[in-house]
Amino acid sequence: MDALIPRPPARLGPGAVHRPGWLPKEQQRQLVTACREWAAGPVPLRHTRLPRGGVMSVQTVCLGWHWQPYRYTRTAGDVNGSRVAAFPEWLAELGRRALADAYDDPDAGEGYDPDTALINFYDGRAKMGMHQDKDEQSGAPVVSLSIGDTCLFRFGNTTTRGRPYTDVELASGDLFVFGGPSRFAYHGVTRVFEGTGDPATGLASGRLNITLRVTGLTD
Ligand code: MD3
Ligand code: FE
């Protein structure tokens, strides 16, 4: 759905750029198809287990490196022991284009070589609490792509989980890049607006978020 109310590109903090509607519908559809295949295995999409016995409401599958709280490994010891699917070069190229467009600098993506992707699926009840992503040994930007239902994303600060923060809606096709000091800002997803996605993406319900990252790890 095209926005009735325009959503202009916005800078939410140093290095944090939101580009509404960046990914064309056809590429959203292709990404949904790819995510469906990754969700099937070798490591299936599942609710990540937390160290204290809980599970996340979000369902996740990883590429390149497997993330579990709070480290990256090549194999998914907490799921089925399999090695995760490879991180495809076309996805790294999409990440470089994302950086160039987000920062309005054709060279901003040069040398960006993400080696892991976390694919998160949210049903209407899923949320993600405020957290920092600091299991990566690299300060390289995180590229985030959203598909499907709109969510309310909370972008915070680098020192506390609480205020000040900014709430922003992330809709299908939106790009968000978190680089520079914003790379280590607290952030979370407070709610998903069920039924707001366009089924033409191939996603009948729910929300997908794909983040591209540089782990800074070597085998
Ligand atoms: C800001 N995912 O997987 S994407 C996560 O929508 C995560 O699934 C959310 O937070 C989601 O860790 C938010 C936006 C995002 C991702 C990574 C960040 C924002 C970030 C890393 C640093 C700062
Ligand atoms: Fe995060």
Nearest CA to ligand 1 atom 10: 188
Q: Phi/psi class of residue 216: alpha, beta or left (left: φ > 0; alpha: ψ in -120 to 50)?
A: left
Which pTM does this prediction carry? 0.97
Predicted confidence at residue 2, as pLDDT, reads 60
3-class DSSP state for residue 100?
Answer: helix
Q: Report the separation in Å between the CA atom of 129 and the middle of ligand 2, taken as the mean of its atom positions.
A: 9
In this prediction, the residues of the chain whose per-residue pLDDT falls under 70 are 1-3
Predicted confidence at residue 137, as pLDDT, reads 98
> Which uninterrupted H or E stretch holds 56?
strand 55-63
Cα(47)–Cα(71) distance, integer angstroms: 16
Predicted confidence at residue 204, as pLDDT, reads 97
pLDDT single digits (tens) 135-167: 999 999 999 999 999 999 999 999 999 999 999
Cα(184)–Cα(181) distance, integer angstroms: 6
Q: Residue 146's closest CA among 119, 178, 171?
A: 171
Topology classification of domain 10-213: Jelly Rolls (2.60.120)
Q: Report the separation in Å between the CA atom of 141 and the middle of ligand 1, taken as the mean of its atom positions.
A: 11
Predicted confidence at residue 201, as pLDDT, reads 98
Q: Is 60 in the pocket of ligand 1 (CB under 6 A)?
A: no
Predicted confidence at residue 7, as pLDDT, reads 86
Q: CA torsion sign, 143 to 87 to 71 to 120?
A: positive
Radius of gyration, alpha carbons of the chain: 16
Q: Is 61 in the pocket of ligand 1 (CB under 6 A)?
A: no
